[in-house]
Chain A
C-alpha cells in the first residue's frame, strides 16, 4: 500500500445517494484514496460501484455526506469544473464525440477548458495517441474505429487534461474479449507510471497485476476492503467469498 503516510487525495465520508424515493443506491460509504494508489471496486451489479465512482467527480450529486477531492469539497458548485478537469473519467460506452476526429476529441477540452493553443493541444494529442498505440487513427472518426481503439482514444482524451486522478467505469465490459487486452495494457502502463486510479472492473487479471487495494461493495455498502493477495486467498466476508466463487471458475 503505497503512499499511506501522505494525505489522502480523495476523501469520501458517509455518502448516501437516493434515486427518487425508492432507490437507495449508496448507504453510508466512506473511503479514502491516497496519491498514486490504484483502487479497484468490485461487486455485483446494482451494488452502487458506478454510482460511487460518479460521485467522485460529481456526475451524480450526493444526497448526504461529503466528497473532498484534492482538498476541494465537491458540493461547492464553483469547484466542480475545476475538480473535473483534475479528475479524468473513462466510461463503459466510451462516450467519444462522434462528430469530431480522434485528434479533435483529444484537443477539444484542452482548448476550451485549459485554453491551450490548437498547435500545443495537437502536439499533446499526438503524444497521447502514440502512448495508447493508435497514432495512425488520428484523422479517423470514432465510428471508424473498433471498440478497443475507441476506449483507448477515450483514455487519451481524459489524459490530455493532465488529471491527477483517473476514474474507470467498467472500461472493458462493452468490449469483445480480444480487445480487452489492448485497453488493460494501457491501464497497466498508467498504473506503473504512478497515476492515482479508481477502477470499477471485474478484470481479475488487472486486479492481480495492478491493484493496491480492492473494495468489495454490495447493496450500497462497502463490505470489505482488502488487498488482491488476501482477496483471492482469504476473503474475510462470506458475501465476498460467494461473489468470487461466481465470477472465478
Chain B
C-alpha cells in the first residue's frame, strides 16, 4: 500500500515538475510580479501616484495649480513671484470629487472652529467626501489651520481638520472649456481683471500674471492645466524626468560606450605598441575604479573644468556629464568584450581576406567584425542591461532618474513599500523587455546551418 502511495506521490511530483518545465523563464517573472500586485491589491496599496510620479506624468499637459473650491466660482492667477513666460497657453480647469479615508476617530463640527457645536462623528477607516475648504491663516505661533467640509454617504455633514484625512482620491466630474491665452514678449507681472469665461480664439493679455476665472461645474476640487500641442508633448516625453531620463541616459551612455569600446577593442588587438599601451591603460584604469567614482569625476571635476576652460561655452554639467561618465566607464568593459570577440574569430578569416588583397581595416570591417559582433551580442546585451541598472548612479549628480524620483516620492509620502516596489518593477519590466529584444536580435542575425536549424 505504502509503496503504491509513494509511487503515486512521485508520479504527481513528476507531473508538477513536467508542468513547471513547460513554463517559460519570463513566466516565472510574471508570476512574481503578479504576486506582488495581488498582495498590493489585497492590502489596499495604491501604486498609481508612485507610477505617475516616476513617469513624470502628465506629459500632454502641465499642472498650473491645484486648488480647493469655495463657493460657486473658481479663479486662478499666477503669483507675482512666478509669472508666466511669454508664449501661448491653452488653459483649462478640471473639476474633481475628492474622497478621503478618515485617519482617526473624528468629531465633525458645525463650523470650522474647534470650539463650535458637535454635528456628527466619523470613525477611523471610513470614507468621506470633502466638499469645501476653509483656511484659517497663521495667528501668532499657531500654524495655519485647514478645515474641510465633509459629507458621508449616509448624510452626516460637518467641518473637520484636513489633517484628519489621508490624501484624497480624485474623481473627475467635469471640465471647463479651453482658455487660449497669449502672453506677449516682455509682459510685466501686473494685476489685471480676471478673464471670466471660456473664450474662443486667442486672448492677448498685457500682463504676465493673467487671472482666469469661471463657474464651478461640479465637484469640490479644481486643477488648472496647460494643454500642450502634439509636438510639445513628444518633446516632453523625451525630456521627462524619471523613467524617460533613465532611458535617455542609458541609450546615450551605451551608444558612447559602444563607440569607445569598439575603438579600444580594436586598439587592443592591434600590433602597434602605442595604441596597445593607450587602450590597456584606459581599460585597466577605468575598470579598476568604481563607476560611481567615475560619474562623480565626470559631474564634479571634468564638467566644471571644461566649463571654466571654455568660458562657459561648453557646459557639460548635469545630464551630458553623467552620460559621459556612464559611457566612459562602460566603454572599458565593452572594449574587453570586443577584443574577445575579435580574437574568437579564426586567424584564417583575416588571412583569407588579406590574401584577396583587402587592407587590414577592410578585412576588419567586412570579414572579422561582422562575425565578431554575432559572437559578442549576448555579452553586449548583458552589459546594456547592467548599464540600465547602473544608470541609477547618476542620481549622485542630482539627476532625477527613476531611483531619485522614487526616493523623492517616498520622502514625501512616507510610503517606502510602494515607492521602492514601483522603482524595482520599472527596472524589472525594462530589463525583461531588453533581454527579449536581445534574444530577438540574436535569432534574426543567426547564420543558417550553424545553430541546429
A residues with a Cβ closer than 8 A to B are 57, 59, 81-82, 84-85, 87-89, 91, 93, 95-99, 108-109, 112-113, 140-144, 154, 157-158, 161
Contact = CB atoms under 8 A, between A and B. Distances in A.
Contact of A81 (B348, B359, B367, B370): B359
A112 B450 contact: no
A95 B356 contact: no
A154 B354 CA distance: 14
B355 A84 contact: yes
A95 B371 contact: no
B276 interface: no
19 contacts: A59-B351, A59-B355, A81-B358, A84-B356, A95-B346, A95-B349, A96-B352, A98-B450, A99-B370, A108-B366, A109-B353, A109-B356, A112-B362, A113-B356, A141-B448, A143-B447, A157-B356, A158-B355, A158-B356
A143 B447 CA distance: 8
Interface of B: 346, 348-349, 351-359, 362, 366-367, 370-371, 374, 447-450
A96 B349 CA distance: 7
Given A85-B357, A109-B353, A109-B358, 7 more contacts: A82-B357, A84-B354, A89-B355, A91-B351, A95-B352, A98-B447, A158-B356
Contacts of A157: 356
A161 B354 CA distance: 13
Contacts of B367: 97, 108
A136 B192 CA distance: 84
Contacts of A140: 449
Nearest to A87: B355
A144 B354 contact: no
Contacts of A99: 370-371, 374, 447
Contact of B366 (A84, A88, A112, A141): A112
A161 B447 contact: no
A173 to B, nearest CB: 15
Given A59-B355, A81-B357, A91-B352, A143 B449 contact: yes
A59 B356 contact: no
B204 to A, nearest CB: 61
Contacts of B362: 112-113
Contacts of B449: 140-144
Contacts of A112: 358, 362, 366
Given A85-B356, A85-B357, A143 B448 contact: yes
Contacts of A98: 371, 447, 450
A95 B448 CA distance: 17
A158 B357 CA distance: 10
A144 B371 contact: no
Given A84-B356, A113-B357, A91 B370 contact: no
